Chains A and B, each alone.
Chain A
Amino acid sequence: MAVGAQAEPAALDADALIDDPRTRIIVCCGSGGVGKTTTAAALGLRAAERGRDAVVLTVDPARRLAQSMGLTELDNIPRPVPGADTAAGGTLHAMMLDMKRTFDEIVEAHADPDRARQIFANPFYKSLSSSFSGTQEYMAMEKLGQLRQSDEWDLIIVDTPPSRSALDFLDAPKRLGRFLDGRLIKILTAPAKAGGRAYLRLLGAGFGMFTGVVTKVLGAQVLKDMQTFVTAFDAVFGGFQERAEQTYRLLQTQGTAFVVVAAPERDALREASYFVERLDRERMPLAGLVLNRVHRSALPELSAARSLAAAETLAQGRTGSAAAEPAEGRGLTEAALRLHADRMRTIARERRLREHFTSAHPAIAVAEVPAQPEDVHDLAALRRIGAALGGGSAEAGD
């Protein structure tokens, strides 16, 4: 039984969410290290085993978790997950995002072969497609749009990239757009277009000043590369922006549900708070919060204080004048009581953090997943987590 089951806000019922055929997309988001990928995988497995045709799109999963789903390489192709129980008529596929390939494909789709070659060879494109911090987010959304459009799966579960901050994921498409659109393009393409120069004059900045700075600091080759890049990209970019907007609108529709994932730690819950507020502002449909790694006790009625006091009594008995008494079981019991006291303090801290969150966001439904005694890297463990999310009682672990 959960400790502190009173003062419970609405419980997030993951089964109702995944069983509802209108749910077509679930986006798992949250800060790094809170178990986003695990949650996405567990939801996917449970949905498939309850009859959905589900696909899990992961971004950079831990190796052993990926292996548990039969994924061995980044290849952008959804693969069937071996071991998923298909008795209920569902299926489970999983794929790892290859962000560079996804980007290349978009360029190929929007540019003629000559221009595409030019873009691929440009150092700015190489950087943008492989290491720009927003690209992964953007490409995850792009891939999501593609999967949705293909209509091969009736439920897509996306695990968002481990962003620098939770907000990157919503901002990335716009940020990318800002670079590839607007003023900068006009400036960089100025030598080619008379309009660019006029635009600079309007801003009171001379083109000479701009090229002067860039050439001085970066060198003339860089300026040339930058210009080639934006000129080549300019032609491709219209399609880009349009697609980003489409995906954005797709996220706002009824069929999408956001699940914010957190661990009962201060930083993770603070990020979760930001996320909840942001999703609300952007009118994104939020299903609730998944709180991973929550500690439980098999003995909630024995408080930390009483447990510690009892441990002290035993410790004194061992060293004090009463040492003549039989010591049988004292060492073991003292250790057990101290462990229990630590656990109760941890539980109390986690509850405080959770209450802090729910009092700020009383309308947000919450599902708790107990801390597992062992790391999650097989389907059985994913199934246990799925059961906890679905409201079934999962084994209280560590």
Chain B
Amino acid sequence: MHTPPRARDSDWEGVRLHVVTGKGGTGKTTAAAALALGLASGGRKVLLIEVEGRQGIAQLFDVPPLPYEERKVAVAPGGGDVFALVVDPEEALLDYLAMFYNLRQAGRALTRLGVMDFATTIAPGLRDVLLTGKATEAVRRRDKRTGRFVYDAVVMDAPPTGRITRFLNVNTEVAGIARVGPIRNHADAVMKVIGSPQTAVHFVTLLEDMPAQETLDGIEELRAAGLPAGGIIVNMVRSPLLSDDDMAAAAGGGVDTARLVLGLKAAGLDEPERTAEGLSAELVGHARRVALERNVREVLERAGLPCYELPLLPDDMDLAGLYRLAGELREQEAA
């Protein structure tokens, strides 16, 4: 039985559709999955949607490849459920034909002719309106008996930053093919959710120049289209272990190896002089990287959005790691 969720402190209370985007390699899918787990914790029900057919969610949750069907993939801390769905545009189109026009048979025939493939691939915006349509349908879906929303939140692992605005702005995109008619109406219904305060678009980035710049460009583009920017999730952040003074000295190349030698002797390690030299080289590299990251962080703050940070985990990403990231997002009130 699904019990209504408790109120909680979150920056996104009232948001029911979380769209997660990011440059390739930033860990967009991982962040989306962690957010879904975080949102589900404490007895909520969350749907995690994948739209690019990569089966990244199945790999993360260590389950067999997911079909076009909502399946439970994880139990959240404190007893919530994460369901996952891989949306296939052709199947979504068949669904759509069946749902609104009772045309499933005709749809199947058209699939054989390659029409569905054609339509979902090159008809302007049709593919995107089908994918976003599936997400917004899940957001609006209510239990027939209780009248309550079936999902407390929907998280979408969306296309990368460079394509996100065009992907979400289905209204403008379908204008090329349909000025009136059912597709147009469908697009309007999608935009009612996506353009509303019920939706937030989060950007996943690393503390590196290129992803950060792309994030800022993406936010600007999104805002220009009148779509709701959410938060910035900074992924793979190293924890600062050095004091500010030591950090500054190391960044300038000036590590006090004499102090390291003393420390190493106290720790009882062999060959303290040689070890100190090696450690010193690593400290300098680390400090330079951290200094660079500090600049990037300042650049990101210019966007004026809430920033959340996920730690760099030393081991391979696994379920335990995912739960840890979900906990971080809860603590920082992103979920």
Contact = CB atoms under 8 A, between A and B. Distances in A.
Contact of A32 (B25, B107, B285): B25
Contact of A335 (B107, B181, B241): B241
Nearest to A335: B241
A222 interface: yes
A212 B275 CA distance: 78
A346 B312 CA distance: 10
Nearest to A162: B24
B314 A340 contact: no
B183 A333 contact: no
Interface string A214-250: 1011110110010000000000000000000000000
Interface string A179-196: 100111001000000000
A397 interface: yes
Contacts of A335: 241-243, 246, 283
A298 B282 contact: yes
B264 A333 contact: yes
B50 to A, nearest CB: 12
A170 interface: no
Contact of A333 (B243, B263, B277): B263
A349 B315 contact: yes
B121 interface: yes
B189 interface: no
Contacts of B243: 331-332, 335
Interface in A236-277: 263, 265-268
B320 interface: no
The secondary-structure label for the interface of chain A is: helix
Contact of B110 (A127, A131, A213): A213
B16 interface: no
B24 A183 contact: no
Contacts of B183: 217-219
A124 B278 CA distance: 61
A299 B274 CA distance: 9
Given A127-B176, A297-B282, A329 B25 contact: no
B213 A63 contact: yes
Contact of A217 (B24, B52, B97, B266): B97
A311 interface: yes
Interface string A377-398: 1000000000000000000011
B180 A219 contact: yes
A223 B244 CA distance: 66
Given A127-B176, A184-B114, A345-B314, A164 B260 contact: no
B221 interface: no
Among the interface residues A64, A339, A342, which one has the most CB atoms of the partner chain B within 10 A?
A: A339
A302 B209 contact: no
B176 A314 contact: no
A343 interface: yes
A343 B52 CA distance: 33
B222 to A, nearest CB: 17
Interface stretch (B37-45, B223-231, B286-294, B327-335): B286-294
A80 interface: no
Interface stretch (A18-26, A104-112, A203-211): A203-211
A297 B286 CA distance: 11
A114 interface: no
B266 A124 contact: no
A218 B181 contact: yes
Interface in A90-148: 123-124, 126-128, 131-134
Interface in A310-344: 310-311, 313-314, 317, 325-326, 328-340, 342-343
A151 interface: no
B281 to A, nearest CB: 4
Interface in B194-249: 208-211, 213-214, 238, 241-243, 246
Interface in A1-37: 31-34
Contacts of A175: 121
B262 interface: yes
B106 A219 contact: no
Interface residues of A, number: 84
A218 B261 contact: no
A83 B262 CA distance: 47
Contacts of A328: 259, 262-263
Contacts of A317: 266
Contacts of B316: 266, 349
Contacts of B288: 373-374, 398
Among the interface residues B115, B160, B267, B292, which one has the most CB atoms of the partner chain A within 10 A?
A: B267
B19 to A, nearest CB: 17
A107 to B, nearest CB: 15
Interface string B88-123: 000000001100010100110110111101110111
Contact of B279 (A65, A225, A337, A346): A337
Contacts of B275: 299, 302
A266 B317 contact: yes
A338 B23 CA distance: 30
A310 B268 contact: yes
A124 B122 contact: yes
A60 interface: yes
A373 to B, nearest CB: 5
Contacts of B301: none
B121 A132 contact: yes
B181 A333 contact: no
Given A32-B160, A179-B114, A314-B266, 16 more contacts: A33-B25, A126-B176, A162-B162, A184-B113, A217-B97, A222-B178, A297-B278, A299-B282, A302-B269, A302-B278, A317-B266, A326-B262, A329-B261, A332-B246, A342-B314, A398-B286
5 contacts: A339-B241, A346-B314, A373-B288, A374-B288, A375-B208
Interface of B: 23-26, 52-54, 56, 59, 96-97, 101, 103, 106-107, 109-110, 112-115, 117-119, 121-125, 160, 162, 166, 176-183, 208-211, 213-214, 238, 241-243, 246, 255-256, 258-264, 266-269, 275, 277-283, 285-286, 288-289, 292, 314-317
Sort A-B residue pairs by CB-CB distance and give the 5 closest, nearest first.
A33-B25, A32-B24, A333-B263, A299-B278, A329-B259
